[in-house]
Amino acid sequence: MAVGVFDSGLGGLTVLDALQKRLPEVPFVYFGDNAHAPYGVRDADDIFALTCAATERLWAEGCDLVILACNTASAAALRRMQDGWIPQDKRVLGVFVPLIEALTERQWGDNSPPREVAVKHVALFATPATVASRAFQRELAFRAIGVDVEAQPCGGVVDAIEQGDEILAEALVRSHVEALKRRMPHPQAAILGCTHYPLMAAAFQEALGPEVAVYSQANLVAESLADYLARRPEFVGAGQVSKALTTGDPKSVSSKATQFLRRRISFESA
């Protein structure tokens, strides 16, 4: 009954942690493509190929349902994957939609026409590839009208987090927030559009100010998955064992992941 969780590196561990707390009875297989991280500076074809390969590896582990706990993969590859690549007995879900539904205060599965919402000025912080894809704006347009989105590509933040350099990551966050606020001085809400960024949530909040609502994804994705599995239990796969796989060096990734999650997690070679 395993569910797969994929990320280009360590960021998806924030989603994995929330999923395990929300659904403790479900085994999760995590796949980190650390050898090819970060994805945020790659082109769309490269991201698509790497994401497909990782998804197939998770299917081989008995995960009929795979969560792309990577905004870059969700933005640059998911729609193309869903357009004829995914077999009918499998499902691949991204992390954008639960976030947008929370922002627009729409119930899960509400497919009514887009409408006016309370939030009018939204700051999006994401990787360069996610920003370039405009996937967030596209998904938002399906659900809301009249929302101004200002996107800031946050180069370097993922690398600093993956390297454990918190001081550099915080400095980069402040720099990116300042750059965005020059274009949108008074955002009402901020989207942390990368699963690495919750680790820097306090830095984002401090730089943005207490009046800005900051949205990150982990708990929202966990609630959405619980709802999805309740409605579609046939997509709980045959796998029975929780494990963590990496294309990188398992010892090094395990050490960084343990520091990242503040609890022990052991990776094995994918």
Instruction: Give me the pLDDT at residue 75, please.
Output: 93
Burial class of 182 by CB neighbour count within 10 A (0 to 12, 13 to 18, 19+): exposed
pLDDT tens across 14-60, in order?
999 999 999 999 999 999 999 999 899 899 999 999 999 999 999 99
In this prediction, residues 154-161 reach a mean pLDDT of 92
* 196 annotated among ligand-binding-site residues: yes
Instruction: Answer yes or no: is pLDDT of 137 > 70.
Output: yes
Residue 11 known to bind ligand: no
Report pTM.
0.89
Exposed, middle or buried, 242 (CB in 10 Å: 0-12/13-18/19+)? middle
Q: What is the Cα–Cα distance from 29 to 25, expressed in whole angstroms?
A: 13
- Quickly state the pLDDT bin for 164 (edges 50, 70, 90): confident
pLDDT of residue 262: 85
Name the token pair of 166: 């918190």
Phi and psi, residue 65, nearest 5°? -115, 125
What mean pLDDT is reported for the chain? 93
SS (H, E, C) 111-151: CCCCEECCCCEEEEEECHHHHHHCHHHHHHHCCEECCEEEE
Q: How confident is the model at residue 261 (pLDDT cuts 50, 70, 90)?
A: confident
pLDDT at 109 over 70: no
Tokens of 13: 């561990």
Answer yes or no: is 195 a known binding residue: yes
Domains of the chain: 3-94+218-269 (3.40.50.1860), 97-215 (3.40.50.1860)
Determine the Cα–Cα distance for residues 24 and 21; give it in Å rounded to an integer.
6
Q: Is 34 annotated as a binding residue?
A: no
175 is in an annotated binding site: no
Other beta carbons less than 10 A from residue 89's beta carbon: 10
pLDDT at 97: 86
User: Catalytic amino acids?
Assistant: 70, 194
- Residue 108 confidence class, pLDDT cut points 50, 70, 90: low
pLDDT in tens, 90-101: 999 999 888 888
Question: Does position 238 have pLDDT exceeding 90, yes or no?
Answer: no
Write the pLDDT tens digit of every residue in 171-210. Answer: 999 999 999 999 999 999 999 999 999 989 999 999 999 9
pLDDT value at residue 69: 96
* pLDDT greater than 70 at residue 211: yes
pLDDT at 110 over 80: no
Give CA–CA dist 75/129, Å, rounded: 8
- Rounded Cα distance between 7 and 51, Å, is 9
